[in-house]
DNA sequence: GCCGTTTTCGGCCCGACTGTTTTCAGTCG
């Protein structure tokens, strides 16, 4: 198995954990964390970069030492430095950092004084009442530790992150409640939620009010609150039932822009902006931008960016992946919006595993303002969904023709989500595929092949002249199933050469292509289709999640095929 | 450990809340 970028990320994060517990130089710790974050945001594989002569040069935050460590990891799959740390400390110790309230200092004390080496040990020691005796601990700490472990969110990888769509569902009622609180002049959800990240660890709400009392009260007494984690005048944190943590921050209206900028992040983006400030003798914090004691910006985000010679930067871009450099040069992308979308190119009906008829789907799509909708049911290999054989597809296509004669204001496209078989051939004969306006080819089975085999399989499918779109290109299900092994860079290149398109599946459980892949596609000149893969009328509204991900990947309207009017789309899909 | 049109050494973003401190360290974001 080749080394993935995520392997390097995990190793660097683990090194950082141990160095923190060890009490090493905090800036050294940060260097490892920064490098981990940088690697996770790279569009190219570090394994490939490490093999190139100067492949790792010039990546910000990765200097001589860490570049060498990456090369070691790529070559040996291990890092001796980390192995050494694991000899000093029990390997399970870093998991203790995931317990809320325990940081490196406390973990070090638990290990030194009580020989605690794992979450199990910690639980036992707390239950036995041994922790209260330690300096800096108390009965209260002991109880809170038991409570945190009891919550069941403490694992080696930390608490599970919430999918964006789920967080949206949970937080919407709370947000509505706070909006109505006395004195609230402005209110917004910030953080990774505003940046439209695929998952969020917690939700940050920011309110502007001269007096914070009323809104704070509503917040900590909200029905759905399970536990108040912290309560202060300007900041409170609660845990909602279901385990989502929400923080509320209240600032004066004159600081709203600065606070919104600060709490939107990302952390890396903020640090970069603050550094720009430091270089100009300015202090940037959540209350404003200051020269000495004088406030020179803060009411709006625009003011702050303007101060540094930049236009306002869309939240989805704020990951310190080149957006500040682009903004300084006036070269920010004009990101695609939901309003640019003219149709949905992937939907299912009752004919296979969808819940509505083609006609119902068409009406729902029309209500969304779409000009077209592809009816793309499964092919026969997907037996669970009663996939269509050649006859079935011919029949479905005929039905679409009939519907089109009747429908006004929207056109249905004859389509199929055709299964890519293990050898890369397609599940249906060319003759019937030729009858379709649009063919999506997707992998549903045999996902455990080697990377080489899987890549060849998919490229062979793209060789078929009838294929237009490669559907949900990595097959991952967020928090449930990892992507299958595939060299997306090669697949993308093959798609460009063959005049195919890759799908960005907008379903919030999928979102593949992800943001990093989108950026990669854009660099290669590959166009994408943002499609919902709707199995119901409501699913058609999931488009916004795909758009969020596309925007995070710097995608502009011209990069997306379904921003085109139908005649242009047809031309674009035609293969040579 | 990274980084540098002031620097190859000496900086490295900044503030709120908690608990146990009696003036602040630890944790968190």
- As a rounded value in angstroms, the CA-to-C1' distance for A180 and B19 is 34
Residues of chain A under the 70 pLDDT cut: 1, 152-160
Q: Which residues in 437-456 of chain A line strand B, with CB less than 7 A from it?
A: none
> How much is the pLDDT for A338?
97
- As a rounded value in angstroms, the CA-to-C1' distance for A228 and B22 is 27
- Pairing type for strands A438-442 and A469-470 reads parallel
- As a rounded value in angstroms, the CA-to-C1' distance for A268 and B12 is 14
> How much is the pLDDT for A285?
85
Q: How many C-beta neighbours within 10 Å does residue A204 have? A: 24
Question: A17 and A97 in contact (C-beta within 8 Å)?
Answer: yes
- Find the DSSP H helices in A320-387: 323-328, 358-367
Q: Which residues in 236-265 of chain A line strand B, with CB less than 7 A from it?
A: 236, 245, 247, 263
- As a rounded value in angstroms, the CA-to-C1' distance for A360 and B25 is 62
DSSP per-residue string spanning A64-97 = HHHHHHHHHHHHHS--HHHHHHHHHS-GGGGGGG
Q: Distance between CA atoms of A239 and A247, rounded to whole angstroms?
A: 9
- As a rounded value in angstroms, the CA-to-C1' distance for A229 and B22 is 24
Strand B positions closer than 7 A to protein CB: 1-3, 11-21, 25-29
User: Which nucleotide shows the minimum CA-to-C1' distance to residue A204?
Assistant: B29
Structure tokens at A313: 């930067």
- As a rounded value in angstroms, the CA-to-C1' distance for A382 and B1 is 51
Q: Which residues in 294-323 of chain A line strand B, with CB less than 7 A from it?
A: none
Q: Is the CB of A63 under 7 A from strand B?
A: yes
Q: Which residues in 409-428 of chain A line strand B, with CB less than 7 A from it?
A: none
Closest CA to A476 of A518, A446, A505: A505
Question: A48 and A55 in contact (C-beta within 8 Å)?
Answer: yes
Q: Distance between CA atoms of A102 and A243, rounded to whole angstroms?
A: 18
Structure tokens at A399: 């039905």
Q: Which residue is the nearest neighbor of B20, CA to C1'?
A: A136
Residue A372 DSSP SS3 = strand
Domains identified in chain A and CATH numbers: 1-89 (1.10.150.110), 98-157 (1.10.150), 162-251 (3.30.460.10), 255-328 (3.30.210.10), 338-573 (3.20.20.140)
Q: How many C-beta neighbours within 10 Å does residue A197 have? A: 22
Q: Is the CB of A271 under 7 A from strand B?
A: yes
Q: Is the CB of A37 under 7 A from strand B?
A: no
- As a rounded value in angstroms, the CA-to-C1' distance for A270 and B4 is 21
Region of residue A128 (left: phi > 0; alpha: psi -120 to 50; beta: else): alpha
pTM, rounded to two decimals: 0.85
Structure tokens at A465: 């002249």
Q: Which residue is the nearest neighbor of B1, CA to C1'?
A: A28
- As a rounded value in angstroms, the CA-to-C1' distance for A485 and B9 is 46
Q: Is the CB of A28 under 7 A from strand B?
A: yes
Q: Is the CB of A62 under 7 A from strand B?
A: yes
Q: Is the CB of A286 under 7 A from strand B?
A: yes
Q: Is the CB of A31 under 7 A from strand B?
A: yes
Q: Which residues in 124-163 of chain A line strand B, with CB less than 7 A from it?
A: 135-138, 140-141, 144
- As a rounded value in angstroms, the CA-to-C1' distance for A19 and B8 is 25
Rg over CA atoms, chain A: 26
Which residues fall within 8 angstroms of residue A519, CB to CB, at 6 or more apart?
A: A43, A321, A553, A554
Q: Is the CB of A64 under 7 A from strand B?
A: yes
Q: Distance between CA atoms of A438 and A441, rounded to whole angstroms?
A: 10
- As a rounded value in angstroms, the CA-to-C1' distance for A151 and B19 is 22
Q: Is the CB of A106 under 7 A from strand B?
A: yes
Structure tokens at A70: 């990456």
Question: A313 and A305 in contact (C-beta within 8 Å)?
Answer: yes
Q: Distance between CA atoms of A222 and A552, rounded to whole angstroms?
A: 32
Q: Distance between CA atoms of A250 and A350, rounded to whole angstroms?
A: 49
């Amino acid at each position: 198995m080749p080394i993935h970028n995520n392997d390097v990320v995990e190793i660097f994060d683990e090194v950082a954990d141990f160095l923190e517990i060890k009490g090493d130089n905090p800036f050294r710790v940060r260097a490892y964390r920064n490098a981990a974050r940088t690697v996770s945001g790279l569009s190219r594989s570090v394994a490939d970069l490490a093999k190139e002569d100067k492949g790792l040069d010039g990546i910000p935050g990765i200097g001589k030492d860490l570049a060498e460590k990456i090369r070691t990891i790529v070559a040996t799959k291990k890092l001796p430095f980390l192995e050494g740390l694991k000899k000093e400390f029990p390997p399970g110790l870093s998991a203790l950092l995931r317990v809320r309230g325990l940081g490196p200092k406390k973990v070090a004390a638990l290990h030194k004084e009580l020989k605690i080496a794992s979450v199990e040990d910690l639980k036992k020691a707390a239950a036995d009442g041994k922790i209260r005796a330690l300096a800096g601990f108390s009965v209260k700490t002991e109880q809170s530790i038991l409570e945190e472990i009891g919550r069941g969110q403490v694992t080696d990888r930390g608490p599970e992150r919430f999918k964006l769509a789920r967080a949206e569902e949970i937080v919407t009622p709370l947000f509505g409640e706070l909006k109505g609180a006395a004195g609230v002049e402005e209110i917004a959800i910030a953080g990774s939620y505003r940046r439209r990240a695929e998952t969020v660890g917690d939700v940050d709400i920011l309110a502007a009010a001269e007096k914070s009392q009323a809104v704070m009260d509503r917040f900590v007494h909200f029905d759905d609150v399970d536990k108040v984690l912290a309560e202060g005048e300007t900041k409170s944190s609660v845990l909602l039932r279901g385990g989502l943590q929400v923080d509320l921050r209240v600032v004066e209206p004159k600081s709203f822009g600065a606070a919104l900028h600060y709490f939107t992040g990302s952390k890396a983006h903020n640090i970069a902006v603050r550094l720009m400030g430091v270089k100009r003798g300015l202090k940037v914090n959540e209350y404003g931008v200051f020269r000495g004691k004088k406030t020179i910006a803060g009411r709006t985000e625009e003011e702050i960016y303007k101060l540094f010679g930049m236009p306002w930067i869309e939240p989805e871009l704020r990951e310190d992946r080149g957006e500040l450099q682009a903004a300084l040069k006036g070269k920010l992308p004009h990101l695609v919006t939901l309003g640019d979308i003219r149709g949905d190119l992937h939907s299912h009906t009752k004919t296979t595993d969808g819940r509505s008829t083609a006609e119902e789907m068409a009406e729902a799509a029309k209500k969304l303002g779409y000009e077209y909708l592809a009816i793309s049911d499964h092919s026969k290999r997907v037996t669970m969904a009663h996939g269509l054989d050649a006859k079935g597809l011919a029949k479905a296509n005929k039905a679409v023709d009939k519907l089109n004669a009747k429908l006004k204001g929207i056109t249905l496209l004859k389509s199929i989500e055709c299964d890519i078989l293990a050898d890369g051939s397609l599940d249906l004969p060319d003759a019937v595929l030729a009858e379709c306006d649009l063919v999506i080819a997707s992998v549903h089975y045999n996902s455990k092949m080697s990377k080489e085999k899987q890549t060849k399989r998919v490229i062979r499918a793209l060789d078929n002249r009838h294929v237009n779109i490669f559907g949900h290109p990595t097959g991952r299900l967020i928090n449930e199933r990892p992507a299958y092994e595939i060299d997306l860079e090669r697949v993308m290149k093959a798609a460009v050469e063959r005049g195919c398109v890759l799908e960005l599946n907008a379903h919030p459980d999928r979102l593949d292509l992800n943001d990093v892949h989108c950026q990669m596609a854009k660099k290669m000149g590959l166009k994408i289709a943002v499609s919902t893969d709707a199995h119901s009328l409501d699913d058609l509204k999931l488009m916004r999640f795909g758009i969020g991900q596309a925007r995070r990947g710097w995608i502009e309207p011209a990069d997306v095929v379904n921003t085109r009017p139908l005649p242009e789309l047809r031309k674009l899909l035609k293969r040579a």
